[in-house]
Amino acid sequence: MSESPKPKVATVWLGGCAGCHMSFLDIDERILDLAKLVEFSKSPITDIKELPDVDVSLVEGAVCNEENVEVLKQYRERSKFLIALGDCAVFGNLPAMRNMFTLQECLEEAFLNTESTPNGLIPTGEDLPRLLPKVLPVPHVVKVDYSLPGCPPDAEAIWFLLTNLLEGKVPQPTEIPYNVFKFD
């Protein structure tokens, strides 16, 4: 008798500090237990280029550029459950601070009004991401099944939600224990 396939989990980082991926790793030894139960289809610990259909995707970071929009749409299309992981994904958080200024003002401050840019030019070219006029939280771009706020979210909250989904339980947001939410 053949074993049923392992559930597939994918992660992606869009824009922000990458602390949510670190919080995910903070589930410590249970990451080994999780690795026995799932196939990491796309994550920082794999080198898979194309995203297959997956059971759960963890999306970290805010949507800052056109490439982020396309990646996010692909993850939504290929994921049974999509989780916005952390304050950047849920609210826009730190990357969205640039929304207080026009995109042109941000580029001028970063490249023209600083001593660290030797030639005093705003870079252009096809190799650079095309920034959106405003940074967006993930739920403003695609449907999100679950949001785990926190900066970063607590490892226990990630563990609770992920293991429940992988066990076929679809927890209601009110079932996630409040004490696992972390707001620093």
Please write the tens of the pLDDT for every residue from 133-171.
Answer: 999 999 999 999 998 888 888 788 888 888 888 888 887
pLDDT for residue 165: 87
Q: What residues have CB less than 8 Å from 137, skipping those under 6 apart?
A: 62, 63, 84, 88, 89, 90, 91, 92, 96
Of 24-28, 75-79, 102-106, where does the model show the most confidence? 75-79
Percent of the chain, pLDDT > 70? 78
- Indicate if the pLDDT at residue 1 is higher than 50: no
pLDDT for residue 59: 93
The CA-based diameter of the chain, rounded to the nearest angstrom, is 67
- Burial class (CB within 10 angstroms; exposed 0-12, middle 13-18, buried 19+) of 103: middle
Over range 25-49, report the average pLDDT: 68
Q: Which of 5-14, 59-68, 132-141 has the lowest mean pLDDT?
A: 5-14
Mean residue pLDDT across the chain = 81
Distance in Å from the first CA to the final CA of the chain = 49
CA distance 34 to 162: 10
- Burial class (CB within 10 angstroms; exposed 0-12, middle 13-18, buried 19+) of 146: buried
- Indicate if the pLDDT at residue 182 is higher than 60: no
Q: Which residue has the higher pLDDT, 13 or 48?
A: 13
3-class SS of residue 178 = helix
3-class SS of residue 8 = strand
Compute CA distances 104 → 9, 95, 134, whole Å. Answer: 38, 16, 11
| Domain range list for the chain | 8-100+132-170
Sequence-ordered strand ranges (E) for the chain: 8-13, 39-42, 54-60, 63-65, 79-85, 131-136, 146-148
pTM of the full predicted structure?
0.81
Question: Domain 8-100+132-170 belongs to what architecture?
Answer: 3-Layer(aba) Sandwich (3.40)
Q: What type of residue is 124?
A: T
CA distance 89 to 82: 11
